[in-house]
Amino acid sequence: MKKGKLLIISGFSGVGKGTVVKYILDNYSDYKISISATTRSPREGEVDGTHYHFLTTEKFEDMIKNNQLLEYANYVGNYYGTPRDFVEKNINEGNNVILEIETQGALQVKKMMPEAVMIFVLPPNADTLKERLVGRQTETMEVINKRLSKAAEETGVIDKYDYFVINDEIADCAACINDIVTDNNPELIGSDCVNKIKNDILKFSKGE
């Protein structure tokens, strides 16, 4: 049986990567989403094994010791990480496994599994990213500016990604990612476009 691929999908906050990933899972076969493990308590409506694998701190730390995580981090007193077993089992069964993950964790996974395909989802331009964040109408401008500052930080590491895709239309972005996975001549954006988006985000983060 042909093995599947591990896809690391990252993107700036507000770029819509979660929506793109959901579209892929709903419209393409042979894709699975990796579910993270955490030691935080479930929130209302969250289901163990669907939203997260909810673990005790002792169990999580045992997984760290036994090298059972591809990556992990401690955030505000709780652990978050990617279980290795699920990823390896599904890849061996021929499924493509998606990790929707931020850049720091992505680089950890790439060290553990160099064959992973790293894809970074970009907005059509920096203005669109800011408009999407403001358009949510769920966050203050202070929070939005923090997200833009975080995006500016991430511009320093995205060059380590293998591919860049633009999320202008969800279906088109999902199709491009699938073309990358299937080696079907994906329409990729050039470095000039990537650099312009990066530079414009850096300007926004400085209030220019």
Q: Which residues are annotated as a binding site for ATP?
A: 11-18
- Residue type (1 letter), 165: V
C-alpha torsion angle, residues 40, 42, 47, 49 (rounded to 10) = 10
Tokens 């990066």 belong to which residue?
198
Is residue 12 within 8 A of residue 151, CB to CB? The reply is: yes
Sequence-separated (6 or more) residues with CB below 8 Å from residue 38: 52, 53, 54, 55, 60, 78, 79, 80, 81
φ, ψ for residue 121, nearest 5 deg: -90, 125
| Strand-strand pairing, 78-83 and 37-38 | antiparallel
Q: Is 158 helix (H, G, I), strand (E, B) or coil?
A: helix
Annotated binding site: 11-18
